[in-house]
Structure 1
Amino acid sequence: MGKLLHEDPFSGSLFLFRSKRGNYLKMIYFDGSGVCLFAKKMERRKFVWPRTLDAKAPLSAGQLSLLLEGIDWRETVRPEPVAKPVLI
């Protein structure tokens, strides 16, 4: 997995995989003591998956929450990041 995605599976990142039909999702996460596997199957809807060019898509915690609920998170508007304070 790490070589394919060019990511360290022990970094604390979440790795999400969706089935071809889009109604089944697996999430793999290393919590420091072992690997956790989370799976969810949607009965009536599909998971809205981000379009990617390189098989990776960084998501915010809010976007992940919406994705797991089957809500189209792409329709939400991400607020502009707050600028760092400048020392005067």
Structure 2
Amino acid sequence: MRKGFASLSLQVQEVLRRDPLSGHLFCFRGRRGDLLKVIWHDGQGACLFTN
């Protein structure tokens, strides 16, 4: 999964029809299932967590 915050937040807007700055957690899983990315906006800034 090569996508960063900008492209993942765009996916949230276009595919899920949600606001990525709403404070919700948005989780994305890699194709093989071995990578997880979570984007979250806490009101002050955006975070991108990977595992």
Structure 1 and Structure 2 fold alike (TM over 0.5): yes
Instruction: Give the TM-score of the pair, scaled to structure 2.
Output: 0.71
Q: For structure 2, list consecutive stretches of 5 or more residues without a partner in the other structure.
A: 1-10
CA distance in structure 1 between the aligned counterparts of 2:30 and 2:15, rounded to whole angstroms? 17
Question: Considering only aligned residues, what root-mean-square deviation do their CA atoms show, in Å?
Answer: 0.8
Instruction: Give how far 1:4 is off.
Output: 1.6
Structure 1 unaligned spans of 5+? 41-88
Percentage of identical aligned residues: 50
Larger radius of gyration: 1
Moved runs in structure 1, 4+ residues, more than 6 A? Answer: none
Larger strand proportion of the pair: 2
**Residue identity in the other structure for 2:33:** G
Asked which structure has the greater RCO (Cα within 8 Å, sep 6+), the reply is: 2
Number of residue pairs the alignment of both structures matches = 40
